[in-house]
């Protein structure tokens, strides 16, 4: 192990249990027990990035909070990560501190959004990340601990704690950990990162300012059109002219799209064309169209364009359950960001 010049304060404790209790008392956790970040462990995690401890991985634009390799490593250890997860975590930090992501806003807003990570490319396979059964559920160490490390960084480096700066009215479980891999092997379509400008064969992380997901079942029809019709009402609940939202299609639904020969772009095109109400109907539903608050007969889509819908393939094969995931302020003030993973 290389002797590294750390800047974080060292705390002497008698044992791991005392460390766990101390961290909880000081508000340095998400409410769950942590792995004590000893100097030796932190050094191994920094070494996994092959950088100096004071290397800046990202700066939160609003408050200027600096996330160094050392701070990221400390929180990764606490979250239960392995050292080999660090490149994914570093890419996620790079993405979520991009000005267009709006990290401060999504972290303190009453809407209760969370940082959703979608991992693509060879790194997802190497880390044995889950892209299948219960993809948003427990059981996979990489998914759970990488997602949790992001939340601990938001708490401990940005100082955004529930009840303090974090003013979420209700929040949702993604604020604990929200990290998945896309099922590229199953999908007939170009994966998320390639649609967002990352070359094929490259590993990447996409971060989205996600609100609580809508789970949608369609077990009775096998045409893509009828399947997507089931998504229209949930889209109405989010309001008109969303700049960005995510749709996650499960394997059972996806197979019908494959058999029908649909291309990925058709998903956004269909919902843009069909998830529509008149301006008056939007107003009556309590979701007035900007600039048309008094209503009218103009047909207005829930999506501002077909490209507003980001399509992700993941989930298990047993059951026709897919999801819509809206984004904070409907993507108008916080953008989905994709960054390559350096390995």
Computed over every residue of the chain, the mean pLDDT equals: 95
Q: Look at residue 1 in the predicted model and tell me its pLDDT.
A: 45
Predicted TM-score (pTM) of the model is 0.96
Largest CA distance in the chain: 71
Q: Look at residue 2 in the predicted model and tell me its pLDDT.
A: 53
Which residues on adjacent β-strands are paired with residue 310?
246
CA distances from 249 to 196, 242, 314 (A): 18, 19, 6
Tell me the C-alpha distance between 116 and 175, whole Å: 9
pLDDT surpasses 90 at 293: no
List the domain boundaries for the chain.
Answer: 16-211+334-340, 214-326
Q: Look at residue 3 in the predicted model and tell me its pLDDT.
A: 65
Tell me the C-alpha distance between 245 and 286, whole Å: 20
* Residue scoring higher pLDDT (238 or 266): 266
φ/ψ of 276, rounded to 5, equals: -130, 150
Mean pLDDT of 275-301: 93
Contacts of 108 (CB under 8 A, 6+ apart): 160, 165, 166, 167
Q: Which of 127, 126, 221, 111 is nearest to 175 (CA)?
A: 111
Tell me the C-alpha distance between 317 and 335, whole Å: 30
CA distances from 35 to 24, 48, 87, 142, 315 (A): 12, 18, 20, 15, 29
CA atoms within 13 A of residue 29's CA, in its CB half-sphere: 19
φ/ψ of 319, rounded to 5, equals: 125, 135
Q: Look at residue 343 in the predicted model and tell me its pLDDT.
A: 81
Considering only 6-10, 164-168, 290-294, which range has the smallest mean pLDDT? 290-294
pLDDT surpasses 90 at 221: no
Tell me the C-alpha distance between 211 and 225, whole Å: 25
pLDDT in tens, 45-73: 999 999 999 999 999 999 999 999 999 99
pLDDT in tens, 252-280: 999 999 999 999 999 999 999 999 999 99
pLDDT surpasses 90 at 230: yes
Which residues on adjacent β-strands are paired with residue 207?
117, 337
**269, 314 contact by CB (below 8 A):** no
Q: Which of 261, 117, 127 is nearest to 192 (CA)?
A: 117
pLDDT surpasses 50 at 212: yes
Mean pLDDT of 230-253: 95
Mean pLDDT of 149-174: 96
Pairing between strand 114-120 and 321-326?
Answer: unpaired
Q: Look at residue 318 in the predicted model and tell me its pLDDT.
A: 86
| Percent of the chain scoring above 90 in pLDDT | 92
CA atoms within 13 A of residue 124's CA, in its CB half-sphere: 27
| Percent of the chain scoring above 70 in pLDDT | 99
Q: Look at residue 280 in the predicted model and tell me its pLDDT.
A: 96
């Amino acid at each position: 192990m290389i002797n590294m010049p750390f800047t974080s304060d060292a705390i002497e404790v008698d044992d791991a249990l005392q460390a766990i209790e101390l961290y909880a008392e000081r508000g340095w956790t998400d409410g769950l027990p942590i792995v004590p970040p000893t100097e030796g462990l932190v050094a191994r995690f920094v070494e996994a990035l092959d950088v100096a401890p004071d290397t800046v991985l990202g700066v939160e634009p609003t408050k200027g909070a600096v996330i160094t390799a050392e701070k990221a490593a400390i929180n990764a250890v606490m979250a239960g990560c392995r050292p080999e997860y660090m490149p994914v975590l570093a890419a996620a930090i790079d993405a979520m501190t991009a000005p267009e992501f709006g990290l401060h806003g999504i972290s303190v807003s009453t809407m209760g959004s969370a940082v959703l990570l979608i991992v693509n490319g060879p790194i997802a396979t190497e880390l044995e990340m889950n892209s299948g059964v219960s993809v948003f559920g427990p059981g996979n160490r990489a998914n759970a601990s990488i997602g949790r490390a992001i939340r601990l960084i938001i708490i401990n480096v940005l100082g955004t704690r529930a009840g303090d700066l974090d003013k979420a009215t209700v929040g949702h479980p993604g604020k604990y950990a929200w990290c998945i891999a896309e099922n590229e092997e199953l999908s007939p379509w170009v994966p998320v990162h390639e649609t967002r400008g990352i070359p094929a064969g490259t590993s990447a992380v996409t971060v989205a300012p996600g609100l609580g997901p809508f789970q949608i079942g369609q077990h009775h029809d096998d045409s893509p059109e009828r399947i997507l019709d089931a998504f229209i009402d949930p889209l109405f609940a989010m309001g008109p002219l969303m700049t960005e939202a995510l749709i996650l299609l499960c394997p059972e639904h996806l197979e019908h799209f494959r058999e029908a020969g649909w291309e990925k772009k058709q998903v956004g095109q269909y919902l843009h064309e069909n998830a529509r109400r008149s301006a008056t109907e939007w107003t009556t539903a309590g979701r007035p169209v900007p600039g048309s608050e008094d209503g009218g007969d103009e047909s207005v889509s829930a999506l501002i364009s077909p490209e507003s819908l980001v399509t992700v393939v993941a989930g298990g094969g047993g059951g026709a359950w897919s999801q819509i995931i809206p984004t904070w302020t409907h993507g108008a003030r916080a953008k989905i960001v994709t960054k390559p993973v350096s390995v």
